[in-house]
């Protein structure tokens, strides 16, 4: 069973994805104007996007696509 993956990215710019978006392995999830990249490790659907104020980061959770 494949598990959800959470990625953290600097909150200077909003993520380029939102809940419900389909994403592919290798896709950059950061906004185009961001100086850094956040590469998606799996193919799936964005399940959650939340802001972590303590770390000034967005946390993006990806639910993997079921095989088949």
pLDDT at 47 over 90: yes
Strands 5-10 and 22-23 turn out to be unpaired
The confidence band for 23, taking pLDDT boundaries of 50, 70 and 90, is very high
HSE-up of residue 50 (Cα within 13 Å, Cβ side): 9
Rounded to whole angstroms, the Cα distance separating 14 from 34 reads 9
The verdict on domain 5-64 having CATH code 3.30.70 is no
Q: What is the mean pLDDT of residues 39-52?
A: 96
pLDDT at 64 over 90: yes
Please state, rounded to an integer, the average pLDDT across all residues of the chain.
91
pLDDT at 59 over 60: yes
Higher per-residue confidence, 48 vs 31: 48
Helix (H, G, I), strand (E, B) or coil at 17: coil
3 to 34, 42, 43: CA distances (angstroms): 28, 10, 12
């Amino acid at each position: 069973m494949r598990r959800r993956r959470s990625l953290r990215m600097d909150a200077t710019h909003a993520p380029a994805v939102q809940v419900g978006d389909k994403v592919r392995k290798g896709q950059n999830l950061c906004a185009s104007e961001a100086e850094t990249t956040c590469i998606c490790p799996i193919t799936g659907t964005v399940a959650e996007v939340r802001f972590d104020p303590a770390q000034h980061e967005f946390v993006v959770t990806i639910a993997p696509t079921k095989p088949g």
